[in-house]
Structure 1
Amino acid sequence: MMEMPPLQFAQTNGIRMGFYEAGPTNDKPPMVLCHGWPELAFSWRHQIKALSEAGIRVIAPDQRGYGATDRPEPVEAYDIEHLTADLVGLLDHLGIEKAIFVGHDWGGFVVWQMPLRHPGRVAGVVGINTPHTNRAWADPIELLRKRFGEHMYIVQFQDPGHEPDKIFGSRVEQTFDAFMRKPARRPDAPAEEVVAGVGASPRLNLAFPQMIANYDARHDPRTPILSPEEKQVFVDAFTRTGFTGGINWYRNMSRNWQRAEGLDHIVRVPSLMIMAENDAVLPPSAADGMEKLIPDLEKYLVKDSGHWTQQEKPEEVSAKLIEWRRRRFG
Structure 2
Amino acid sequence: MFNPDDFPQPKLIAVNAIELEVFEAGQQNAGNPIVLCHGWPEHAFSWRHQMPALAAAGYHVIVPNQRGYGNSSCPGEVTDFDIDHLTGDLAALLDHYGYDDAVFVGHDWGANVVWSMGLLHPNRVKKIISLALPYQARTEKPWIEFMEEFLGPDYYFVHFNRQPGVADAVLDANTDRFLRNLLRKNVPPAPPEPGMMMINLAQSDVPLGDPLMSERELAVLVSAFERTGFTGSINWYRNLDRNWEILEEVDPVIQVPALMIYGDRDMIPKSENLADFVPNVDVVSLDCGHWIQQEKPQETTDTILNWLNKR
Normalising to structure 1: TM-score of the pair? 0.89
Aligned mates of 1:234, 1:148 — CA distance in 2: 29
Equivalent residue pairs, number:
307
Does 2:12 match 1:23? no
8 Å CA contact 2:175, 2:202 repeated in 1: no
Cα separation, partners in 2 of 1:186 and 1:22, compared to 1, 3 Å: same
- Where in structure 1 are there 5+ consecutive unaligned residues? 188-202
- Where in structure 2 are there 5+ consecutive unaligned residues? none
8 Å CA contact 1:175, 1:212 repeated in 2: yes
Counterpart pick for 2:230 among 239, 243, 246: 243
4+ residue runs over 3 A deviation? 24-29, 203-206
Instruction: State the SS of the aligned residue for 2:252.
Output: coil
Q: CA RMSD in A?
A: 1.6
1:213 Cα offset (Å): 4.2
In the alignment, which residue of structure 1 is the partner of 2:123? 120
Aligned mates of 1:276, 1:12 — CA distance in 2: 33
1:54 Cα offset (Å): 2.4
8 Å CA contact 1:29, 1:123 repeated in 2: no
Does 2:106 match 1:106? no
State the identity as a percent: 40
Instruction: State the SS of the aligned residue for 1:125.
Output: strand
Does 2:217 match 1:211? no
In the alignment, which residue of structure 2 is the partner of 1:81? 84
Aligned mates of 1:323, 1:213 — CA distance in 2: 38
Counterpart pick for 2:296 among 313, 316, 320: 313
What do residues 271-303 of structure 1 show as CA deviations (whole Å, max 9, x unaligned)?
Answer: 1000100001x13x2x22111111211001111
Instruction: State the SS of the aligned residue for 1:252.
Output: helix
8 Å CA contact 1:24, 1:55 repeated in 2: no
Amino acid at match of 2:300: V
In the alignment, which residue of structure 2 is the partner of 1:275? 262
In the alignment, which residue of structure 2 is the partner of 1:170? 173
* 1:127-142 equivalences in 2 (<5 Å): 127-142=130-145
Does 2:213 match 1:229? no
Further displaced range: 48-57 or 122-131: 48-57
1:160 Cα offset (Å): 5.6
Does 2:290 match 1:301? no
Counterpart pick for 2:35 among 32, 36, 41: 32
Aligned mates of 2:163, 2:212 — CA distance in 1: 33
8 Å CA contact 1:100, 1:122 repeated in 2: yes
In the alignment, which residue of structure 1 is the partner of 2:73? 70
Amino acid at match of 1:264: D
Amino acid at match of 2:107: H
Aligned mates of 1:2, 1:146 — CA distance in 2: 46
Normalising to structure 2: TM-score of the pair? 0.94
In the alignment, which residue of structure 1 is the partner of 2:99? 96
